[in-house]
Chain A
């Protein structure tokens, strides 16, 4: 129930996290984990960024995150061998817990090995609608590639609930016609199957290099939720963004109304940690 929020903050591209990865400093990681738990994250994305390319660093990072939270992870890697190392570290640390492999494109050379990994480790996948020709600009191509990934995943034995499709958000500053195309694609992707798969975006891309990042992020988030988005990788510590998501859940009838719905949303945010402690 509710929107699935994937916290974006464990990413080596952030200076503090990058340094923590290089120095194997768990305190910084634990702090980022705790803040995103308090922010109501449902998953934590784990991405090394440019901080390191070493497999053992990724295994260290996954273990450091997994052992400090009860939340499931989204393993965000550029390569299949890194996914395997991350998955092994994850399973060794937490046993059976949900996990998303983030991500594959529609190219067979990436898609097929990742689906095999997903089956082997009982994982979900994030499929990004691009292929060897690059990122699509129009709606139809997004749907075509989304459909290909979905069909291949189902063929491989994944349930729709284990499939996340990402229609690729592009910066409004440089490609102003793209946000609208993404919204159209989301709306049509909801009709791919019944029960539906998840549809996810990397929200912060939309506001890249703009001066009003938070405003653009939360406005686009609400627009996307209205057409059927149910998952996003975003900054869960952005209070106004979270309040907009909570309000959208209410207006879309996903949550039963109560006068104190913002209070309830904040209580819910802490509950993952509370459940883990209990």
Chain B
């Protein structure tokens, strides 16, 4: 007799819902739920596997730093966060990630009130749930987060990030205005756990946290992040509640920052067409994290979105089901 090699785990990844419809106090047309896996990615013969979601990234200011070929698909919508967000939804994004880069002291230093206005406008302009990233500058984030969280009150956004050294403000405002939180840790499973414990110690349920173990592009230390994600996931499945969170990967910003995506064919002819290579670099990075257990992707190029969604569909059997139907 062949022994049954199926593994059952004592724990389960938390399900986290982003967005709120009218029934739950918001104005979204739909919500997105991530997590819920009771086993490792795509081993659905062992138990339920959560369906990963794909967000596309927009910015509160024109993305000066983006290479031209990344700007192309969006055209002049890039100057207007609302039109930009709508374009992303047309490209197949499940939800939108608004990065408040324009509030960064060195990138425009927009005020908390301006940030709140942008958040309101985007929420009014799209039916989808919203992820909101701060500037990454702790002092400025602590000014911006209260205004933004209040502007989005009731919409059950996912807001990030808290870190080991800066978590009190965002935890407090997300508790007050009922948002979900991104907990960030620098490629370190011990700190990932620590940040969750700190938030929980302020009374914030770890079930409302999505963890972000930082991210690296293919060829730039991806395997270190991959290992951290695996360790966290295994601990969560074994029953560690402080590591049972869905995992977010902020991929676009990393993949489009490396030379494999930015260098043209003229500069390095051996590398071939940048037009093909760059979105492929983003998609390939995403696929690696998909297999490590990523539950929520933040991507930039529509082709990368299309590619990862197709891979997810193939691995979950959704595509086969659709074809049969």
Residues in chain A within 8 A of chain B (CB atoms): 1-2, 255-260, 263-264, 267-268, 271
Among B190, B191, B197, B235, which residue has the most Cβ atoms of chain A within 10 A? B197
Among B10, B235, B239, B241, which residue has the most Cβ atoms of chain A within 10 A? B241
Whether A256 and B197, one on each chain, are in contact in the complex, defined by CB atoms closer than 8 angstroms, is no
* Residues of the A chain whose Cβ atoms lie less than 8 Å from the Cβ of B191: 258
Residues in chain B within 8 A of chain A (CB atoms): 10-11, 189-191, 193-194, 197-198, 200-201, 231-232, 235, 238-243
Distance between Cα atoms of A6 and B75 in the complex (Å)? 64
CB distance from A241 to the nearest CB of B (A): 21
CB distance from B204 to the nearest CB of A (A): 11
Determine the main DSSP class of A at the interface with B: loop
Distance between Cα atoms of A259 and B232 in the complex (Å)? 16
Whether A260 and B241, one on each chain, are in contact in the complex, defined by CB atoms closer than 8 angstroms, is no
Whether B11 and A258, one on each chain, are in contact in the complex, defined by CB atoms closer than 8 angstroms, is no
CB distance from B120 to the nearest CB of A (A): 33
Whether B235 and A256, one on each chain, are in contact in the complex, defined by CB atoms closer than 8 angstroms, is yes
* Residues of the B chain whose Cβ atoms lie less than 8 Å from the Cβ of A267: 197, 200-201, 242
Whether A256 and B239, one on each chain, are in contact in the complex, defined by CB atoms closer than 8 angstroms, is no
CB distance from B289 to the nearest CB of A (A): 20
A258-B194 contact given A1-B10, A267-B200, A267-B201, CB 8 Å threshold: yes
Whether A260 and B243, one on each chain, are in contact in the complex, defined by CB atoms closer than 8 angstroms, is no
Distance between Cα atoms of A60 and B278 in the complex (Å)? 70
A256-B243 contact given A1-B10, A1-B11, A1-B238, CB 8 Å threshold: yes
Distance between Cα atoms of A122 and B32 in the complex (Å)? 39
Whether A263 and B201, one on each chain, are in contact in the complex, defined by CB atoms closer than 8 angstroms, is yes
Closest 6 CB pairs of A and B: A1-B239, A258-B193, A258-B194, A1-B238, A260-B197, A264-B197
Whether B194 and A260, one on each chain, are in contact in the complex, defined by CB atoms closer than 8 angstroms, is yes
Contact of B201 among A1, A255, A260 (CB under 8 A): A260
Distance between Cα atoms of A257 and B190 in the complex (Å)? 5
* Residues of the A chain whose Cβ atoms lie less than 8 Å from the Cβ of B232: 256
CB distance from B4 to the nearest CB of A (A): 13
Whether B241 and A271, one on each chain, are in contact in the complex, defined by CB atoms closer than 8 angstroms, is yes
Distance between Cα atoms of A129 and B144 in the complex (Å)? 64
Contact of B193 among A1, A2, A256, A271 (CB under 8 A): A256
Whether A263 and B240, one on each chain, are in contact in the complex, defined by CB atoms closer than 8 angstroms, is no
Q: Which residue in chain A gives the minimum CB-CB distance to B9? A: A1
Whether A258 and B197, one on each chain, are in contact in the complex, defined by CB atoms closer than 8 angstroms, is yes
* Residues of the A chain whose Cβ atoms lie less than 8 Å from the Cβ of B194: 258-260
Contact of B242 among A2, A259, A264 (CB under 8 A): A264
CB distance from A28 to the nearest CB of B (A): 30
CB distance from B104 to the nearest CB of A (A): 29
Among A2, A257, A258, A264, which residue has the most Cβ atoms of chain B within 10 A? A258
Distance between Cα atoms of A271 and B189 in the complex (Å)? 22
Contact of A256 among B10, B198, B201, B231 (CB under 8 A): B231
* Residues of the B chain whose Cβ atoms lie less than 8 Å from the Cβ of A259: 190, 194
Distance between Cα atoms of A256 and B243 in the complex (Å)? 9
A268-B243 contact given A1-B11, A258-B194, A260-B198, CB 8 Å threshold: no
* Residues of the A chain whose Cβ atoms lie less than 8 Å from the Cβ of B242: 258, 264, 267
Q: Which residue in chain A gives the minimum CB-CB distance to B191? A: A258
Distance between Cα atoms of A22 and B10 in the complex (Å)? 39
Q: Which residue in chain B gives the minimum CB-CB distance to A260? A: B197
* Residues of the A chain whose Cβ atoms lie less than 8 Å from the Cβ of B231: 256
* Residues of the B chain whose Cβ atoms lie less than 8 Å from the Cβ of A255: 240
* Residues of the B chain whose Cβ atoms lie less than 8 Å from the Cβ of A264: 193, 197, 242
A263-B190 contact given A256-B243, A258-B242, CB 8 Å threshold: no
* Residues of the B chain whose Cβ atoms lie less than 8 Å from the Cβ of A2: 239
* Residues of the A chain whose Cβ atoms lie less than 8 Å from the Cβ of B11: 1
A1-B240 contact given A256-B190, A257-B190, A258-B190, CB 8 Å threshold: yes
* Residues of the A chain whose Cβ atoms lie less than 8 Å from the Cβ of B240: 1, 255-256
Distance between Cα atoms of A73 and B53 in the complex (Å)? 41
* Residues of the A chain whose Cβ atoms lie less than 8 Å from the Cβ of B238: 1
Told that A1-B240, A258-B190, A258-B193 touch, could you supply 5 new A-B pairs with CB distance under 8 A?
A255-B240, A256-B231, A256-B232, A258-B194, A264-B197
Q: Which residue in chain B gives the minimum CB-CB distance to A265? A: B197
Distance between Cα atoms of A263 and B11 in the complex (Å)? 20
Task: List 14 A-B pairs, Cβ < 8 Å.
Answer: A255-B240, A256-B190, A256-B235, A256-B240, A256-B243, A258-B190, A258-B193, A258-B242, A259-B194, A260-B194, A260-B198, A263-B197, A264-B193, A268-B241
CB distance from A110 to the nearest CB of B (A): 31
Distance between Cα atoms of A1 and B236 in the complex (Å)? 10
Q: Which residue in chain B gives the minimum CB-CB distance to A254? A: B238
* Residues of the A chain whose Cβ atoms lie less than 8 Å from the Cβ of B10: 1
CB distance from A170 to the nearest CB of B (A): 33
Distance between Cα atoms of A162 and B210 in the complex (Å)? 35
CB distance from B168 to the nearest CB of A (A): 15
Distance between Cα atoms of A71 and B10 in the complex (Å)? 16
Distance between Cα atoms of A260 and B11 in the complex (Å)? 21
Q: Which residue in chain B gives the minimum CB-CB distance to A2? A: B239
Distance between Cα atoms of A258 and B243 in the complex (Å)? 11
CB distance from A181 to the nearest CB of B (A): 32
* Residues of the B chain whose Cβ atoms lie less than 8 Å from the Cβ of A256: 189-190, 193, 231-232, 235, 240, 243
CB distance from A149 to the nearest CB of B (A): 25
Q: Which residue in chain B gives the minimum CB-CB distance to A275? A: B241
* Residues of the B chain whose Cβ atoms lie less than 8 Å from the Cβ of A260: 194, 197-198, 201
